[in-house]
């Protein structure tokens, strides 16, 4: 199993968030991370997993079953709630990432 490192930094506007990124092979590590989180986590967890844009992501279902926190795909404009997991939906790489290839 891969080792997972997370850095928690208080947000300057009163929202605490944790952001974790992984390659497509990192699902097991994400499951391990989520399984150890407390139900009352005082921060929102954002997860970005590198998957092809044409793929259908089941990651929210997998993470919701792995631990005590609800998980869903992030939606533009939706409120950010502590104790929830927000998974970035599959989509093409942003222009900056495409320019780095």
**pLDDT on residue 63:** 97
Is there a domain that residue 2 lies in? no
**pLDDT on residue 23:** 86
**pLDDT on residue 96:** 55
Is there a domain that residue 30 lies in? yes
**pLDDT on residue 11:** 46
Is there a domain that residue 79 lies in? yes
Q: Domain range spanning residue 56?
A: 17-99
**Average pLDDT of each block of 10 consecutive residues along the chain (101 residues)?**
50 74 91 96 93 85 97 92 93 58 50
Is there a domain that residue 11 lies in? no
**pLDDT on residue 52:** 79
Closest CA to 6 of 24, 23, 27, 30: 30
CATH number at residue 41: 3.40.50.180
Tally of structural domains, the chain: 1
Please give the C-alpha separations between residue 42 and each of 38, 64, 89, in angstroms, as whole numbers. Answer: 9, 17, 23
Is there a domain that residue 26 lies in? yes
pTM of the model: 0.77
């Amino acid at each position: 199993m891969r080792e997972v490192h997370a850095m928690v930094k208080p947000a300057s506007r009163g929202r605490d968030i944790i952001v974790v990124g992984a390659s497509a092979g990192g699902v097991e590590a994400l499951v391990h991370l989520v399984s150890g989180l407390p139900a009352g986590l005082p921060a929102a967890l954002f997860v970005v997993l590198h998957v092809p844009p044409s793929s259908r992501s089941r990651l929210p279902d997998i993470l919701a079953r792995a631990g005590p926190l609800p998980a869903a795909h992030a939606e533009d404009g939706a409120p950010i709630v502590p104790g929830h997991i927000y998974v970035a939906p599959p989509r093409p790489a942003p222009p900056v990432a495409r320019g780095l290839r």
